[in-house]
Amino acid sequence: MTSSLSQGCPTTIERLCRLAGVSRAGYYRFWRKSAPRAHDTTVRDAIQRLALANGRHRGYRLVAFQLRQEGLIVNHKRVLRLMRQDNLLCLRQRPFVPPTTASRHGWPVVPNLARGMQLSRLDQLWVADITYIRLQEEFAYLAVILDAFSRRVIGWAMEDHLQASLAIEALRMAIEARRPAPGSLIHHSDRGTQYACSDYTEVLAAYDIAASMSRIGNPYDNAKAERFMRTLKTEQVDGTLYRDLRHARADIGPFIEQIYNTQRLHTALGYRTPAEFEAWHRASLRPGGGDAARLRGSAPPPPAHPLDPELHRLNQ
């Protein structure tokens, strides 16, 4: 067989089968059994690398997209099957939920200005919320502010109390990072006392930021902030036992700044990170930037839909 191959004749499947004394049909039957297993092994290795690198908190759809970015031909159903077989599906959730919103108070409640807004730029609408973080012996509380257009977390603070100073610290961090133009920004939150009290509203007024609050019992009005909290819990917090407040800060802070803002892909942003989306949006605003962004395939998606319950469900 070796001398036959060295004569310079083309090495076709038909010729190789004839030299080996097997039929082509038998060869292809064997190939159909072995090739998918070999490809599954390659895909499984890549899935394990991506899933374990994110602490088993990355969903199968995002893993499938990252695999396709790496050049592997695979769909999300196959990724789901392999992740289920290898016990790599997302860690779940969650026994007791302490309350973080005290909406029964005597402070003024402002109307909902965010409902129905068509977002078209950065620093047009900020959304704020507070959630709990379970520690080993108590609870801590995380306040965040997101830019609703890019989903980027622009301000956050974590303490072991629910006083107004927690939300104010996150607000001041956002203002320092973005420096919004006076009169150009709406700040939306729930009706909690932290956001309705005079200490918080005085900071908003000092920077000419308009306040907006959700309707009673309607979480969809603040859906983007609620969605971030869900992402934080499922991809980072759930399954982690924090010793104390310092441990929680040291873990959650890098997740927000280094993973969520700069690495995590968002389906609503066209599988871009918030940082990438903001960079592309700013580039599109420069003269000729929109055409250049479209040629690179990186133009920002159209303005976000209004904050409507049905549209929000579709966006997810």
> Residue 223 and residue 114: Cα distance in Å, rounded?
11
Interval 202-222: pLDDT, tens: 999 999 999 999 887 676 788
For residue 263, give the amino acid letter. Answer: Q
**Residue ranges of domains in the chain, CATH in brackets:** 2-85 (no CATH), 125-315 (3.30.420.10)
Q: What is the mean pLDDT of residues 181-193?
A: 92
pLDDT of 122: 95
Per-residue confidence band for 316, with pLDDT thresholds at 50, 70 and 90:
very low
Per-residue confidence band for 7, with pLDDT thresholds at 50, 70 and 90:
low
- What does DSSP assign to residue 136? S
Residue 31 has pLDDT above 50, yes or no: yes
pLDDT of 12: 82
Token readout for 121 is: 């730029």
Identify the weakest region by mean pLDDT among 52-56, 105-109, 161-165: 52-56
Element (DSSP H or E) covering residue 128: strand 125-134
Strands, E assignment, 184-304:
186-189, 210-213
For residue 124, give the amino acid letter. Answer: Q
pLDDT of 307: 41
* Averaged pLDDT of the chain: 81
> Residue 2 and residue 52: Cα distance in Å, rounded?
46
Token readout for 90 is: 């997302």
Identify the weakest region by mean pLDDT among 19-23, 119-123, 166-170, 288-292: 288-292
pLDDT of 152: 97
Q: What is the mean pLDDT of residues 265-275?
A: 91
